[in-house]
Chains A and B, each alone.
Chain A
Amino acid sequence: MAIFSGLALLLCFGLLAGPTGGYAFDAVREVHPLPGTAALALILALIGTGSKAGVVPLHAWLPLAHPAAPSHVSALMSGVMTKVAVYGFVRIVFDLLATPTAWSGILVLAVGGITAVLGVLYALMEHDLKRLLAYHTVENIGIIFIGLGLALAFGANGLATAAALALTAALFHAFNHSVFKSLLFFGAGAVLTATGERDMDHLGGLIHRMPKTAFAFLVGCVAISALPPLNGFVSEWLTFQAILLHPDLPQWGFKIMIPADGALLALSAALAAACFVKAFGVTFLGRPRTAPATDARETDRCSLAAMFVFSGLCLLAGIFPGVLIDLLAPVVQTVTGAHMPTQLGVAWLSIVPIESARSSYNGLLVFLFIGASASLAVLAIHRFASRALRRGPAWDCGFPDPRPATQYTSGSFAQPIRRVFGAVVFRTHETVTMPPPGDIRPARIEKHISDVIWDVFYAPVAGAVWYVAEVLNHLQFLTIRRYLGFVFAALVILLLALVLWQ
């Protein structure tokens, strides 16, 4: 996949360089390619950078590669490497090919929306912690591409401030994702080091054994589920404001695609929250399911410090989003020619993306309000309510079972969603074999999930490659005479070509 994307990018650069052959950015900006060439260059750039970022259907390598690396490297891969691909896309499409067109906006919007929803649905089917996080990277790249598609859509219609808002939302989300995905991978790495297990169904109850890691991981989960007052919510809010900005775009593709993308974005956010309830709940909460989980120990102080730094960043970016928006303004200005209104002077440190009568959000005030309400509740409860507390066995409707196997596993937690969405997207079905009464064999449930993208896109290609390799394998076993014949034929053909070309 890396070679394939490299090929696409090389071809794209070749097209951009034009007849003079200069590859410097200034030289490329001077060349004004024909619309056909520009279109081809954009598609190649989308394939090349999209494959590196993890856009569906070119994402297949991401959930295999990211979990395989050590966890801090996985954090780097998901947090930074994919963003380099986003940078490449922004640089090529917005800066070098500076004329956004309507169909490119529609294409990027469609790709972004599908990537977001498919990424999170794949993540919901997973029970390996690091593969789940890798699929979430795919989902968040989809959200970034939705923002980029909106920027292209507004740019194609000459609405520079709207394009600036959309691009700011996309870049803000890229920053947010680097922060909370790195945090989550660090947490997964801590769990892996402490227990040796990556499979969530073998963990559980780690909040008692590794409390600080659990807290940092919880902050990451809340941030990635786009819940206020943390940073994930701010970038999602900005993207929704961009969607609402211009319903009167004339192209019909946008009239259909932008509402559809709004729905897909909302769906992916809700499913992401579900997925992280599953991830945190099955891994850290409940009772330990295996011996390694029972014997886990807290990680060392350096790792904890790193995780807490990132948690702090999540909180700060959520409470003071105006600072980040102002920091992004020069970048957005160079790329789209406009920038969002300066946020630093707004009263109470709110962010006002367009104008204050229209919409505003104040992360700091929401955070303070929640803190104040919680404190008020605590004070009132401690004054007026009984302070008595007694520990006992879990109620469990009167029939508690001490075996940890009665808890929900990741597969059982995801079962309702798998039944609703998976039947459509993954052709999931479950077969249950119940032995007759008196038979002591256990009942079995088997889940069948088929990866549609692999079956449609990759399996035929893999099959074709095998077939060609088999056929070409015959070339290994030719006689000397046949090899000489090949060389002779190649020479004759080249000479003929030379003759004809002249």
Chain B
Amino acid sequence: MHGFAFDVSHMLAGGLVLASFMMLYQDRLYALINVLALHALILALSVAWQAYIQNAPHLYITAAIALVFKALVVPWALRRMVFRLGIHREIETVVSIGLTMLAGIGLVALSLMVMLPVTAHADPVAREDIAMALSVVLIGLLMMVTRRNAVSQVAGFLSLENGVNLAATGAQGMPLVVEISVAFSILIAFIVIGIFLFRIRERFDTVDLEALDQFRGERQ
């Protein structure tokens, strides 16, 4: 029988996978941003729980960064960006939502198949967390690949980073300096993406990637 601590961390990792699936399901931008905030909130709870059971107080700071930054600041900034850019609020998908979710299930199966045999001798708390974290990363990538809207690609990228965070905290040994540097680089990337989105919008009047593709001149 596994302990209560194990069960709760497991539940939070599963909740993160569930939130990733919910992001795949959304087809409206504001709802997607809300689910992104939820994703970051679950990550913050998970990291805080890991801090509690591993007795690692620096992880509390990581959890606080995740909460303030990714659950509050970033979604607020994204909402403002959507409003200012006047991006139309429907997200077009490359393949239907049903097929995307089926692909998501396949990716979860794949990450379980890869991670569980490889970490057969590791700490049981860590192994299943890492398998779930890999699935969150893969589903984030799937979102970036199957969406035509630049903001939804940003959302996929951020959820991918959440997955990486989950793996790092679960593996017991993420020093604070690594977390801060990763967070800063994400911040820089985010600001750059924001600037580029504004410039693209100024220039081409749209941020729909299919339309932008035509402007590259390679396809008519």
Interface residues of A (CB under 8 A from B): 252, 255-256, 420, 423-424
Contact = CB atoms under 8 A, between A and B. Distances in A.
Nearest to B95: A424
Interface residues on B, range: under 10
Interface string B91-128: 00000101100000000010001000100000000000
Contact of A424 (B96, B113, B117): B96
B113 A252 contact: yes
B96 A256 contact: no
A72 B99 CA distance: 41
A256 B109 CA distance: 7
Interface of B: 96, 98-99, 109, 113, 117
A256 B107 CA distance: 12
Contact of B113 (A256, A420, A423): A256
A424 B95 CA distance: 9
A424 B113 CA distance: 27
Contacts of B99: 424
10 contacts: A252-B113, A252-B117, A255-B113, A256-B109, A256-B113, A420-B98, A423-B96, A424-B96, A424-B98, A424-B99
Nearest to A424: B99
Contacts of B98: 420, 424
Contacts of A255: 113
A257 to B, nearest CB: 10
Contacts of A424: 96, 98-99
A255 B98 CA distance: 23
Nearest to B109: A256
Contacts of A252: 113, 117
A106 to B, nearest CB: 13
Contacts, number: 10
A420 B102 CA distance: 14
A223 B113 CA distance: 39
Contacts of A420: 98
Given A255-B113, A424-B99, 8 more contacts: A252-B113, A252-B117, A256-B109, A256-B113, A420-B98, A423-B96, A424-B96, A424-B98
Q: What is the interface of chain B mostly: helix, strand, loop, or mixed? A: helix
A255 B109 CA distance: 9
B33 to A, nearest CB: 28
Contacts of A256: 109, 113
B167 to A, nearest CB: 21
A424 B109 CA distance: 21
A270 to B, nearest CB: 15
A252 B113 CA distance: 7
A359 B117 CA distance: 32
Nearest to A252: B113
B103 to A, nearest CB: 12
A423 B98 CA distance: 11
Contacts of A423: 96
A91 to B, nearest CB: 34
Nearest to A260: B109
A493 to B, nearest CB: 52
A47 B124 CA distance: 44
A255 B96 CA distance: 27
B23 to A, nearest CB: 21
Nearest to B114: A252
Nearest to A256: B109
A452 to B, nearest CB: 15
Contacts of B96: 423-424
Nearest to A253: B113
Contacts of B117: 252
Nearest to A423: B96
A413 B113 CA distance: 41
B109 to A, nearest CB: 5
A252 B112 CA distance: 10
Contacts of B109: 256
A252 B99 CA distance: 23
Contacts of B113: 252, 255-256
A319 B98 CA distance: 39
B127 to A, nearest CB: 15
A157 B206 CA distance: 58
A276 to B, nearest CB: 24
A252 B117 CA distance: 10
For the complex of A and B, the 10 pairs showing the least CB-CB separation, nearest first, are: A256-B109, A252-B113, A424-B99, A423-B96, A256-B113, A424-B96, A424-B98, A420-B98, A252-B117, A255-B113
A255 B116 CA distance: 12
A256 B116 CA distance: 13
B19 to A, nearest CB: 22
B129 to A, nearest CB: 19
A438 B109 CA distance: 57
Nearest to A421: B98
A255 B99 CA distance: 22
A207 to B, nearest CB: 36
B128 to A, nearest CB: 14
A420 B98 CA distance: 9
A423 B96 CA distance: 9
Nearest to A255: B113
A165 to B, nearest CB: 26
Nearest to B116: A252
A255 B113 CA distance: 9
B27 to A, nearest CB: 16
A72 B96 CA distance: 43
A197 B94 CA distance: 43
A200 to B, nearest CB: 28
A201 B109 CA distance: 44
Nearest to A420: B98
A182 B113 CA distance: 44
A368 B208 CA distance: 63
Nearest to A263: B105
B107 to A, nearest CB: 12
A256 B99 CA distance: 18
A122 to B, nearest CB: 19
A255 B117 CA distance: 13
Nearest to B113: A252
A420 B113 CA distance: 30
A316 B118 CA distance: 52
A343 to B, nearest CB: 36
A252 B109 CA distance: 10
A333 B134 CA distance: 45
A198 B218 CA distance: 53
A230 B204 CA distance: 65
Nearest to B106: A256
B138 to A, nearest CB: 15
B41 to A, nearest CB: 30
